[in-house]
Amino acid sequence: MLLETIHSPDDVKRLDAGQLDTLASEARTEILRVVSRNGGHLSSNLGVVELTIALHRVFSTPEDSILFDVGHQSYVHKLLTGRREAFDTLRQYGGISGFQRPAESPHDAFGAGHSSTSISAALGIATANRLAGKDCYTVAVIGDGAFTGGMAYEALNNCAGNDRLIIVLNDNTMSIARNVGALDSYLNRFRNSAKYFRIKNRVKRTFQRIPLIGRGLVSLCKRVKGRLRKWLVRENLFEHLGLHYYGPLDGNDESLLETVLQEAKEDGACSVIHVCTRKGKGYPYAEERPDLYHGIGRFDLGTGSPEPCGDGRESYSEAFGETLCRLAERDERICAVTAAMPDGTGLTDFRKRFPERFFDVGIAEEHAVTFACGLAAKGYKPVFAVYSTFAQRAYDQLLHDCANWS
């Protein structure tokens, strides 16, 4: 296997174009093999194979820093950074982590188990590099689902003017469940303008090959690009924030990604590269149900069926969801609130039966708690279903808004 010859990102840089396709295929096969045995985050990792390969061909870790938000997109990164032989131990006791972990490898720049933190951390790392006089690059790979978390916008507000900082927006139209809200609609406008950006990059490459006048033609195109983009794309949030914007791009086209990443690197300015990936790519069951295979236990690789676990009794989440539905039938004031986790928290049936009283606020636990407090202030009975490990994001709201609002 070609993958067996990859011991560091330097080995990835030495491959030719044909070998890169083979490497991508073998990486997907290895992820499927291990996750089917150990469980883990499948769909998201299958979607970022080409993106991760391109990142390691353009940048040089650990001198350059690559941060994956939440971190469950980092399986390919682990395979390419010297942890292939230990990959069988993924998420096992004493084995390698399912997330980036600096203590595990110098190629892991930052650890995270929750979403929306990567841009803040990357900005801090980039600032530290600048203060130390280093010219290395920092890359934050953040999903469109994580972009629904307010912390990402707090960080974006401070990014302009920070050189050698690149934000890769991995847009697969999903977080865990389908994305909701105005941000998803906004990103759809960019997705619909992808044809313009493909034409632009093709014209640029063609003009650059023309002797003598090629660079002049490229310069002329740049002068009229602003008007064309304004007409075709209308407003661009990222450019309004002072960031250079590239995309949207096919996030599963390694060659294109490598070209644009190199362009952003040479530009040096703080940039947003908007890529559209297919969650679950390469495994039909995960492509069809990326939400089901987002985080999954052991499963049969041939049929895609999860292996039975426990004693067959219904889960706590299922019992909770059924009870809430029964109560909601008797009391029209009961509402259900989730932070992008309707399936995991047992609210799937509630969403179907009481859509007008079901609220998915995206990955925004802080907002969810205070939003529920507002409902309660007017006599409704909101139930915020949230994992205890995710509730850590909302301690201040629990104390200040929930316990003290009256």
Residues designated as active site: 279, 365, 393
> Which among 62, 45, 50 has a CA at the least distance from the CA of 139?
62
| Angstrom distance (rounded) from CA 275 to CA 280 | 15
Whether the upstream peptide bond of residue 141 has omega within 30° of 0, thus cis, is no
C-alpha distances in angstroms, 299 versus 40, 46, 308? 10, 16, 9
Is omega for the bond preceding 62 within 30 degrees of 0, making it cis? yes
**Cα 43 versus chain centre, distance:** 11
Q: Are 333 and 340 in contact (CB under 8 A)?
A: no
Q: How many angstroms from the chain centroid is the CA of residue 21?
A: 22
